[in-house]
Every structure is written in C-alpha cells, then in structure tokens.
Structure 1
C-alpha cells in the first residue's frame, strides 16, 4: 500500500491531557521535580499524530513511530492542562511526517517533527511470530 493514496497533507488532530503525577520526571527519578517528562510529551505527540490519520487507514493497517525530532521548551507542573497538536506535512510511500506541538495554555512547551511508518498488522505479526 502507498500512503500517498490515502493520507493527505493537512490532516490534523489535537489531544488534551491534564498532567498526572505518573507522567512527571519525579515519578521516574525521585530526585527530580514533578514536572511533565519529555518522553511523556513525545508519547502524547505520537498518539496525536496517530489520531490525525487513523480514520484514513484501511482495516488491518496501522502506523508506528519511526522518527522523532522534538524540543522540550518549557516545564509544566502536575495538574497542568496540555494541548498537543499534530498535522501531516509530508507523505511518502510508507512514511507520514507530522509537525507536532505541545502547549500549556498559550505557552508552547514543545515542538518538532514526528514520522510514522505504515504497517500491515497481519504481515507484521507473521514476521515476528506473534499470533
């Protein structure tokens, strides 16, 4: 399958998250502050990117994260409301790339690019011997 046939530039999505303690740096490293962790912000950006294109994917197909180039620009505390956005900016045969952002109110706390690879679930499972 060719992603260019089904994914259009400009598809976008947005997610809202209230930062829980388990998504903070301090949750993973006791000596660190309880602020939104960079890997958790990237996870939310990846999930938002998947949301942007999920309705366009045929049954039996998914995307998986393959590229991340993100800057974490500012801290956000537990309880902060984070808005994450993703917009398709480039489509190749098997890779879809997104511009991603994260905001705490009007403050941009993260930005970058994320790529997702198009995967046939049945073929993927067969390749790795997963039932």
Structure 2
C-alpha cells in the first residue's frame, strides 16, 4: 500500500509531536491497514480480525510530500492469532519502520455484541 504524506498525516496534525513529519500513529494505522488486508485469506464469512498488539520501530522521518510504501508479510498463524512482519520504506528505498503486528480472528457479530 502506497501513501503520500500530507499535512493531515503529520505529528503536528495528529497531536503526537510538534514537527511537520509523518506521525508515528498515522504510520502505525497504515501498517495495521496492510495487516487487515493481508488477513483476509484467513477469515471466513462472518469473521474478521482485530488488532491486539503492535511492536513497531519508527526509524526515519518522512516529510510532507514524501512517499511511504507499507507491506505486511503473510502471517505466522497460531490458532486464531495472526502475527505479521511489517515494513515501511520511503521513496528512496530507505527503511522508515519495521516490526510486528498481531491480529486475532473473531466472530464479527459476537465481537460487536460484546461492546459496551
């Protein structure tokens, strides 16, 4: 998944810092979106996956106008737990972030019904 950093994606805009670079929370959201897509083959109709743990290192700043490509490798599967190796690289091929994200496969209806 390819993203171009806009003013709305900066640390200033999301409130996580005071510099106009890609915010770590936005980067993590992009990485999680990649895992959601990569989890689709592991969910049956009526099931979905939810994020449960994020272990990501943000390695390099990316300014407004910069391009970031995020990927999630096919997961390691342990029962309902899906563990994805994730990576983000910038337009010059430099690593922006790397790490792992866990998702758990759940029954969508039961999950939503259990919400307060």
User: Among residues 33, 55, 65, which one is paired with 1:79 in the alignment?
Assistant: 65
TM-score (norm 2): 0.91
- Runs of 4+ aligned structure 1 residues displaced above 4 Å come to none
Instruction: Give the count of matched residue pairs.
Output: 115
Equivalence for 2:114: 127
Unmatched 5+ stretches in structure 2: none
Equivalence for 2:90: 104
Unmatched 5+ stretches in structure 1: 1-14
User: RMSD of aligned C-alpha atoms?
Assistant: 1.7
Equivalence for 1:19: 5
**Whole-Å separation in 1 of the counterparts to 2:75 and 2:109:** 28
1:23 CA displacement: 1.1
1:20 CA displacement: 1.4
1:31 CA displacement: 7.0
Larger radius of gyration: 1
Cα pair distance change 1:121/1:26, threshold 3 Å: same
TM-score (norm 1): 0.81
**Whole-Å separation in 2 of the counterparts to 1:60 and 1:28:** 33
Equivalence for 1:66: 52
**Whole-Å separation in 1 of the counterparts to 2:22 and 2:97:** 11
